[in-house]
Structure 1
Amino acid sequence: MAALETSTFSEAFSMKGGDGPDGYAKNSTFQRGVVDATKELLSKAIAENLDIEILSSSKTFTIADLGCSVGPNTFYSVQNILEAVEYKCQTQGLNAEMPEFQVVFNDNTPNDFNTLFKSLPQDRRYYAVGVPGSFYGRLFPNASVQVVHSSYANHWLSRVPKEVADRNSPAWNKGRIHYSNSTDAVLKAYEAQYAEDMECFLNVRAQEIVYGGLMVLIIIGRPDGTPHSLSQANMTFQILGSCLVDLVRKGIVDEKKVDSFNLPMYCMSPGEVEAAVGRNGCFSMERIENLPAFAPPDNVSKAKLLATHMRAAMEGVVKQHFGEEILDEVFDLYLKKIEEQSSIFDAGKLISFLVVLKRKA
């Protein structure tokens, strides 16, 4: 048996688990809004692009959700896919040949799989499987998955570019935690890490997805041609970095700890994704389009919503580097700054876009 192909360098980051008020399960309404916005587009993509031979050639239909976190959004996503596949079977007269469905939930090893599986829908029409591990490495056997889905996960890099934490490198990112307000050398290091990761991601998925199968990605990014410094997502990370610098000034955090801390995230554009798919050559680009912007209810503070979502997503990586003691202070300060700098909601450029890829024969 051949050795499994896995990434030997990936760092493991995960959303805050549990079902408490600060956890990802309770603070992912933005992501849920995007899932809802893609439902019809997803159904159309499966109806138009999923090969009929795939439906009739196997008794088991496998859906994999990469970066599933702890729910509940992953359950909505896979249910939308399952219903779309069932509808395609019905319209093609394959009711008698309806496959059994298996859903594979994947995330990094530290993910709170206990909370995820405790909250599985009781009325689900699929067999549930958990596969821990980085999606930058092999996760599944050759040609074993019909549909791969991943939402709001690909902006996480496999690791921080090593140059930005090296004091002797021109790309040393002293005093900052991200690339968007830094030097060209730091930006190039992040761009190179993104290109390497995306190449790896596409290569391993090409081995796992059956010919004619689909990969659906929902990506948070920036419009083509938008400078990284004007990406709304990147602007929010800059504010988080300024909070840590403030704690250094107060003597709460060691300056060297901030100098050695960088976020493993990259805000990509649709054009960058198209270029990566073209270089890989194993997938055809069936659809790429921007999704409607999510608008929170009028009675919800945008600043508070952003702050709670940021903590649910980033607490783990901050805690891993700085320890637990500063968490409340840094995220309380973050909320205060977001409220004071609310102009970023209008000044920053932010898009979510849908990418549908088909595995070439």
Structure 2
Amino acid sequence: MAAEETRFSEAYAMTGGDGPNSYAKNSAYQRGVTDAAKEPLKKAIAEKLDINILLSSNTFHIADLGCSVGPNTFFVVNNILESVQSKYQSKGPNSQIPEFQVFFNDHITNDFNMLFKSLPQNRQYYAAGVPGSFYGRIFPNASIHFVHSSFTNHWLSRVPKDVVDQNCPAWNKGKIHYSNSTDEVMRAFEAQFSEDIECFLHARAQEIVNGGLMVLTIAGRPDGTPHSHASANVTFQLLGSCLMDMARKGVVSEDKIDAFNMPMYYMSPQELEAAVELNGCFRIEGMEVLPDVSTLNVTETAPSIVLHIRAATEGLFKQQFGEEILDELFDLYCKNLVEQHYIFKSTKAINFLAVLKRKAN
């Protein structure tokens, strides 16, 4: 039987390799969040995982969605594996610990070569790379026991088409993000998020076995916080203003800016709850805000913040504006970040962990 057609989406890969601007060298913040999520993750497995979901198989299948190039994905997988092993061992000395198969998933443009080169030599699992967008099906029916994804769900499958169409009321002229934009722009991004999160949950509902777990670590905003007061949104608002400064100097075309938006949306816990309820295939077993791992002094940490943002987004800017503007853009961004650090004083951000369990059909 043919595999279900994968939903079309744009590909946004992190910067590959191990150079100074690479994701591998500039993802310490994500590693901090991974460390903060370690104990809640272990608790979720200890309390919510039903080891009887293996049925006749003796292979436990784990998928990490949006794995990028490492090393963070390897730390997470190791935490999951150790916790599942402990769960089996708690059932008594005669309980048989399964073998583990780990699927590392990311966009087809991800640097899988770097990922595979970085695989831990002493790993206790079989590893496989699975390319494709998680907004469509990427695994067979009822084949995965545990899904993990961290810092991925704020990426949309695509930019809403209306915000880059000058004939639409939602045209986001002169801006690259929905923060502080018109109501029409905001509604376009909200609609895209709603469509995407339903596609994500629908695909996972088919792939995860009944009783299987999915743990999501999400970069978001607190309930009730306006989008214009979300820290990440203000970050991209400032980056967009840097592009407009460069346009005024003739370095980039303003038309290219008008045709460009960041494919991101920072959800609140309430929005995720509503999406899970609408989908109907999962039960939320737990949701908690993780401890803040950011550094408050923006002026001192501006260079590392810029490297972090660049590692995640330079592929987008390179595709739209060309590689030659990247250094100037991010140097200007660093300068403005220091000079305008005060704009972040009233902003808010959270990272929250959600534990979802696949309901029985």
> TM-score scaled by structure 2?
0.97
Counterpart for residue 2 of structure 2: 2
The 8 Å contact of residues 299 and 338 in structure 2, kept in 1 or not, is answered as no
What amino acid does structure 2 have at the position aligned with 1:46? I
The 8 Å contact of residues 14 and 110 in structure 1, kept in 2 or not, is answered as yes
Please give the residue correspondences for 1:259-270 in structure 2 after superposition, counting only pairs within 5 Å. Answer: 259-270=258-269
The 8 Å contact of residues 155 and 267 in structure 1, kept in 2 or not, is answered as yes
The 8 Å contact of residues 56 and 97 in structure 1, kept in 2 or not, is answered as no
Q: Aligned equivalents of 2:131 and 2:92: distance in 1? A: 36
- Tell me by how many angstroms 1:306 deviates: 1.0
Q: Aligned equivalents of 1:349 and 1:298: distance in 2? A: 15
3-state SS in 2 of match to 1:150: strand
Per-residue deviation, residues 195-214 of structure 1 (Å, max 9, x unmatched): 00000000000000000000
Counterpart for residue 337 of structure 1: 336
Counterpart for residue 72 of structure 1: 71
Please give the residue correspondences for 1:209-248 in structure 2 after superposition, counting only pairs within 5 Å. Answer: 209-248=208-247
Counterpart for residue 193 of structure 1: 192
Gapped regions of structure 1 (runs ≥ 5): none
Counterpart for residue 281 of structure 2: 282
- Tell me by how many angstroms 1:301 deviates: 3.0
- Tell me by how many angstroms 1:52 deviates: 2.6
Q: Aligned equivalents of 1:36 and 1:49: distance in 2? A: 20
Counterpart for residue 203 of structure 2: 204
Counterpart for residue 135 of structure 1: 134
Q: Aligned equivalents of 1:117 and 1:180: distance in 2? A: 37
Per-residue deviation, residues 267-323 of structure 1 (Å, max 9, x unmatched): 100000000000000000001110000045999932122111000001011111111
3-state SS in 1 of match to 2:64: strand
Specify whether residues 351 and 344 from structure 1 end up closer, same or farther in structure 2 by C-alpha distance, changes over 3 A only: farther
Counterpart for residue 166 of structure 1: 165
What amino acid does structure 1 have at the position aligned with 2:3? A
Q: Aligned equivalents of 2:20 and 2:68: distance in 1? A: 16
Matched length: 360
Gapped regions of structure 2 (runs ≥ 5): none
What amino acid does structure 1 have at the position aligned with 2:64? D
The 8 Å contact of residues 104 and 128 in structure 2, kept in 1 or not, is answered as yes
What amino acid does structure 2 have at the position aligned with 1:148? V
Is residue 44 from structure 1 mapped to residue 43 from structure 2 by the alignment? yes
Is residue 252 from structure 1 mapped to residue 221 from structure 2 by the alignment? no
Answer with 296-305 or 276-285: which moved more: 296-305
Counterpart for residue 155 of structure 1: 154
Q: Aligned equivalents of 1:74 and 1:95: distance in 2? A: 31
- Tell me by how many angstroms 1:333 deviates: 0.5
Is residue 14 from structure 1 mapped to residue 18 from structure 2 by the alignment? no
3-state SS in 1 of match to 2:266: coil
Please give the residue correspondences for 1:87-166 in structure 2 after superposition, counting only pairs within 5 Å. Answer: 87-93=86-92, 96-166=95-165
3-state SS in 2 of match to 1:24: coil
Aligned sequence identity (%) = 67
Per-residue deviation, residues 29-63 of structure 1 (Å, max 9, x unmatched): 11000100111110110011111312564210011
3-state SS in 1 of match to 2:323: coil
The 8 Å contact of residues 23 and 308 in structure 2, kept in 1 or not, is answered as yes
Per-residue deviation, residues 139-186 of structure 1 (Å, max 9, x unmatched): 000000000000000000000000001111000010000101110000
Per-residue deviation, residues 236-277 of structure 1 (Å, max 9, x unmatched): 000110010011000010110000000000010000000000
What amino acid does structure 1 have at the position aligned with 2:321? F
Specify whether residues 209 and 43 from structure 1 end up closer, same or farther in structure 2 by C-alpha distance, changes over 3 A only: same
Counterpart for residue 321 of structure 1: 320
CA RMSD of aligned residues (A): 1.5
What amino acid does structure 1 have at the position aligned with 2:39? E
Per-residue deviation, residues 73-102 of structure 1 (Å, max 9, x unmatched): 000011100000000000012654111001
Q: Aligned equivalents of 1:112 and 1:311: distance in 2? A: 16
3-state SS in 2 of match to 1:129: strand
Q: Aligned equivalents of 2:122 and 2:296: distance in 1? A: 29
> TM-score scaled by structure 1?
0.97
The 8 Å contact of residues 145 and 208 in structure 2, kept in 1 or not, is answered as yes
